[in-house]
Chain A
Amino acid sequence: MLLLTLIRLGDEAYGVPLSRELALMRGRDVSVGSVYAALDRLELKGLVASSLGESTPERGGRAKRYFRVTEQGLRSVHETRKVLSRLWKSLPSVREDPA
């Protein structure tokens, strides 16, 4: 979910838009600290890379940390999609109730 959100946001993926987008998709508030923890783990696995960007006055002079999905991360997303697609195909259909 996080990787897909990162891909969706493209070059503007830093903490604030990421957590807003995730909150929008999940329908409830997310913890920004948890998002960072998950991103750190993905970065250790080489699925995500990050770099420090500009700092703005409304951030108290603190730099933004931009994230992007690496080639390895993109491959992992495609692989997951393939696996999920195969699993979805084996899902039995639900019979419609006439009443």
Chain B
Amino acid sequence: MKQDLAVVLATWMLEHLTFGRDHESLSGDLLEELGAGRSAGWYLRQVSMAIGVGVYESIREYITPLIFSASWSTLYPLWRFMERNRSIHPDQWVTLGWPYSTMLYLAEGIIPAITFVWLGLLVYMLVLLRLSRVAELSSFRILMGLSTSISVLLSATMGLFFYLKHPVINVQYVASEGFYSLFRISSINVPLTFSLLAAILTLLPHTPRIARRRRIPHANSGMQLRSVEQP
């Protein structure tokens, strides 16, 4: 009785913890083997391994974007250094009245950061993706990716204001070169890493593109196939 309960529980776990993979056929195969004389211990081991493999496969596709985003963010000081020698300086904006001065200070900090993130996104697409996959991207998906990166960056900006714990929010902080580097791990800029990572993951079809299959009554006769790739 206990063994049956363990099998039922393991099957439930397999079908709910394999993160979008094709669990129905897998659990069917394992149940078929169990019915053919395999032990409950074997079944539980197989289920544990299948869940482990599922978790690993889910994480595996995030590793490259994460490493790229973190590496790219380390170049941000160089990016800010390159745009130091421009004619307009933020100190000139204090003479402007509110809300223009505030808006310009915010823009002064956010625009270089977001252009840096978008440049990173472009480099990622050109260097790490095949051109055929880039061509597959719809303009809606690209807009979603860009807008997600802005949203994440704005959230990080708000988070940094809270982190500073200053009694009055001073927007001039955003315009300073080191604002986004306040929250970093070693030389990795955390807000920019998350912004770029969010953009990459939104832009790319990152979930496993397991074919959506239609049920064919006798699929093993005549090798007929009707599989449709999931977008």
Chain A residues proximal to chain B, CB less than 8 Å:
11-12, 14-16, 19, 29, 31-34, 36-37, 40, 43-44, 49-56, 58-60, 62-66, 68
Contacts and interface: CB of A to CB of B under 8 A. Distances in A.
A5 B24 CA distance: 22
Which one of B46, B219, B225 has the highest number of Cβ atoms from chain A below 10 Å of its Cβ? Answer: B219
A65 B30 CA distance: 13
A49 B219 contact: no
A51 B51 CA distance: 22
Given A32-B29, A33-B49, A51-B225, A63 B24 contact: yes
B218 A63 contact: no
Interface of B: 11, 18, 21-22, 24-33, 35-36, 42, 46, 49-54, 57, 208-211, 213-221, 223-227
Of the listed residues A15, A19, A31, A59, the one surrounded by the most CB atoms of chain B closer than 10 A to its CB is A59
Contacts, number: 122
A52 B28 contact: no
A11 B220 contact: yes
Contacts of B54: 33, 37
29 contacts: A14-B25, A14-B220, A16-B32, A19-B33, A31-B49, A31-B50, A32-B29, A32-B46, A33-B26, A33-B46, A34-B53, A40-B210, A50-B227, A51-B224, A51-B225, A51-B226, A52-B214, A53-B218, A54-B219, A56-B32, A58-B36, A60-B28, A60-B31, A62-B27, A64-B25, A65-B22, A65-B25, A65-B213, A68-B225
